[in-house]
Amino acid sequence: MTGGRNKAVLAGLKTCTKAWLLKKVAGRRLGRDRPYDQLSVKSILVFRFDRIGDMVVTTPFFEAIKRAFPNAKLDVMCSQINEPVIRENPHISNRLVYRGNLRGLIELLQLRRSYDLIVDLNHSVIWHDMLLIRLLAPIWAASVYKAGRYGVGGNSLALYRLMPSTDGSPDSRIARKYLQLAEYLGAGPTQKFSYELFSRKEIDLQIVSRIGLSAEDRYWVINQHGGRTQMSLQDIDTRQIIQMLLDSNPQRKVAWVSSPTTHAEVSQKCAVWFPGQDRILTPEPTTDVMQTASILRFSCGLVSPDTSLIHIAAAYSIPTVAVFSNERELYVQWRPPENVWHRHLFSGDPKSLKGYGSVDLIRAVEELVTEIR
């Protein structure tokens, strides 16, 4: 009993300490703070230095925020991996790649007081976001609704002068919540939205042609692996699906895409399962996701587990069969707009694809093939 009581006391002290630190960092306003004036905003920095899919989902927000501030400079602090998604985005002035090291800190110090408004799109209380805002010292900081943490409510985070009081929208998608924030900052309402990718068509056509595909004839795209090994389609299903796609049209090819870490495995499987089959291509991937986006752009359909490719396919209105882990709350938040034919299936496990229905998956691919014919 004593040991349990001591652990409880330590846990309570740790929570109190974190709450105290949170109030110190985010419990008081910025030094240059004043009542919000939309017309005074001339420079904006948006924090989005995380994953590829997060950046794709944020693209409607960039259009909306530019609509609210048509003459303001709009910069985005991105990560090295998601920067290509916005490389051609006309709404964005500059892309700042976040580096969590000394060099990055020195670069950020040079930007101190350069921005009137910083927008933090994290729903959670993230320490380095708040510290970066303090470092950069804008006039105003805005955020989507934060519920708070360690017993400190979101409405106590005075650092964020501009924050909706609730999540508000009946549409619980993350992209819709970002648009709600844009409206809160002064953008007009957005009834419908879609993801936007601004890659140049001539470059995409060159990439597709270089690997032996034809945008005119179109082709299928299949991806077996998600970002983690437990987020993969079974071998037996992958093999059957590829054969189905080949049989659906004797002229169409199949692009079996992969990541740099799974490419060797995919190439080997292709050689063993389909020896001599020249209608299956396994393009060598790069760390630039827009290379794969180029392939998706001219395809006629995608089959994949839950990855950023699902969001990219939605941006290009590509019919999709996707398998998600059984984490319905997250799915409701991150599901793409329903602007194109799709079938979304779920596993039996919240953290993996274990237990998804192979029969249901094959049936969904049959529907996809019928739809495209």
**12 vs 292, higher pLDDT:** 292
Q: How confident is the model at residue 338 (pLDDT cuts 50, 70, 90)?
A: confident
DSSP codes of every residue in 124-143: S--HHHHHHHHHH--SEEEE
Q: Around Cβ 134, how many Cβ atoms within 10 Å?
A: 16
pLDDT confidence tier of residue 182, bands split at 50, 70 and 90: very high
**Contact indicator for 192, 210 with CB cutoff of 8 Å:** no
| Res. 155 pLDDT band, cuts 50 70 90 | confident
**12 has a pLDDT exceeding 80:** no
pLDDT category, 3, cuts 50, 70, 90?
A: low
Query: Rounded to the nearest 5°, which phi and psi values hold at 161?
Result: -60, -35
Q: Which two tokens stand for residue 222?
A: 């299949």
Per-residue tokens: 155: 């409405």
pLDDT of residue 41: 98
CA geometry: angle 68, 62, 66, nearest 5 deg: 30
Read off the amino acid at residue 40.
S
Q: What is the mean pLDDT of residues 292-299?
A: 97
Q: Rounded to a whole number, what is the largest CA-CA distance in the chain?
A: 73
pLDDT per residue as tens digits for the range 265-289: 999 999 999 999 999 999 999 989 9
Computed from CA positions of residues 319, 321, 323, 324, in that sequence, does the dihedral angle turn out positive or negative? positive
Q: For 187-233, write each residue's pLDDT tens digit.
A: 988 888 899 999 999 999 999 999 999 999 899 999 999 988 899 99
pLDDT score recorded for residue 151: 83
How confident is residue 22, by pLDDT bands cut at 50, 70 and 90? confident
C-alpha 195/C-alpha 315 separation (Å) is 5
Q: Are 168 and 185 in contact (CB under 8 A)?
A: no
Residue 166 or residue 312, greater confidence: 312
In the structure encoding, which two tokens stand for residue 151, read together? 């017993």
Buried b (16+ CB within 10 A) or exposed e, 296-333: bbbbbbbbbbbbbbbbbbbbbebbbbbbbbbbeeeeeb
Residue 337's pLDDT is 87
The answer to whether residue 73 scores a pLDDT higher than 60 is yes
**Mean per-residue pLDDT of the chain:** 93
CA 5 to chain centroid: 42
Please tell me whether the overall predicted TM-score, pTM, comes out greater than 0.85 for this model: yes
Give the integer Cα–Cα distance in Å for 79 and 86.
11
pLDDT for 9 beyond 70: no
The first and second tokens of residue 122, run together, are: 């994290």
Domains annotated for the chain, with CATH where assigned, are: 2-185 (3.40.50.2000), 201-372 (3.40.50.2000)
Question: What's the pLDDT score for residue 13?
Answer: 82
Q: Rounded mean pLDDT of 82-103?
A: 94
* pLDDT (tens digit per residue) in 136-149: 999 999 999 988 88
Distance CA 338, CA 318 (A): 11
